[in-house]
Structure 1
């Protein structure tokens, strides 16, 4: 059975993100190669990955080259840095699915780029990126920015284990 993963905010080609977020890379090329290796170390060809935005600052050709090197079926939710490009641009760059808006996964998880408003009485979980090294309190928010997960896609099984205690699963 294929696994499902989520991740966000790679910022491929954005050399200044290294300083902005204290990323442990000497340059953008090292960052790119390390993040591709970490993705492919956990994601198999038949797995699905939801990328929650801010994927690449590169042109279409260079972005497509990176996308083609990443394992799995890639579903993309556009982030704030991606919205200047059309949905078609991202499909042409190699993503299998592209959404301009948040989506609901499994009837319980809201997948979005920016964190969504969730009050404590709502029975849902918001899996998001955008805030990089920051975290919201509580189990209703899971930040999947690369900085939170050692630049590696995180499995939905792991997220479920955080959100739902094992005796309830």
Structure 2
């Protein structure tokens, strides 16, 4: 069994092809984008794997796009993002969590904590926080939704939200965060082992 992390599929979000130069260059139509995201997910995720989706899986819980979730294997856990209709920042968003559970998510959360696997038998596992939002940073000039961002207490963070703006960033306190959004990972989920190695590389690059 493998754990995977991903975010910001934005299934069905046609305007994203206009707003994002990278998506617009990669896909001619929203149907092409949807099909590629599903194909790439299915190419790496096995039925007994776990996939953490760190938000913005679609746009506002539309029936047509939530129906696509059933085509994605694995035990899927959603950390709600600001474009998911079940997000805590949406008025009565909690009432929509059943929509995402019915679509195929095993659980819907606002944030979570988990561990990445050790890189060798003697090494400790890496504890990470999971949130849709980075500690700091946005696609816009100002950091939106500040009240929904986790406080930086030195724990590495996996997040989405920023699309192609940056793949990793260190806070003023020196804490690393990695953007697991599909825009940086070939439009596919990224494995826990890959992220563990990436955090290790970042730590050693800082020390060198």
Task: Please tell me the TM-score bracket, short chain as reference.
Answer: 0.7 to 0.9
- 2:76–2:106: 8 Å Cα contact kept in structure 1? yes
CA distance in 2 between partners of 1:95 and 1:55 (Å): 11
Query: How many angstroms does 1:63 deviate by?
Result: 3.0
CA distance in 2 between partners of 1:63 and 1:19 (Å): 19
Relative contact order (C-alpha < 8 Å, sep 6+): which is higher?
Answer: 1
CA distance in 2 between partners of 1:38 and 1:4 (Å): 16
Residue 11, structure 1, aligned to residue 20, structure 2: no
In structure 2, what is the equivalent of residue 25 of structure 1? 27
Query: How many angstroms does 1:164 deviate by?
Result: 2.2
* Structure 2 counterparts to residues 10-159 of structure 1, below 5 A: 10-22=9-21, 23=23, 24-57=26-59, 60-82=62-84, 83=87, 84=90, 85=93, 86-99=96-109, 101-106=110-115, 108-116=127-135, 122=154, 124-135=155-166, 136-138=168-170, 140-159=176-195
Query: How many angstroms does 1:59 deviate by?
Result: 5.3
Higher Cα radius of gyration: 2
- 1:63–1:93: 8 Å Cα contact kept in structure 2? no
Shift in alpha-carbon separation, 1:87–1:58, aligned structure 2, 3 A: closer
Deviation readout 1:15-64 (Å, 9 max, x if unpaired): 11112122110111000001000000010111100000001127553234
CA RMSD of aligned residues (A): 2.0
Stretch of structure 1 that moved more, 139-148 or 39-48: 139-148
TM-score by length of structure 1 reads 0.87
Deviation readout 1:67-102 (Å, 9 max, x if unpaired): 110011100011001124422221122211111x11
CA distance in 2 between partners of 1:17 and 1:150 (Å): 17
- 1:74–1:95: 8 Å Cα contact kept in structure 2? yes
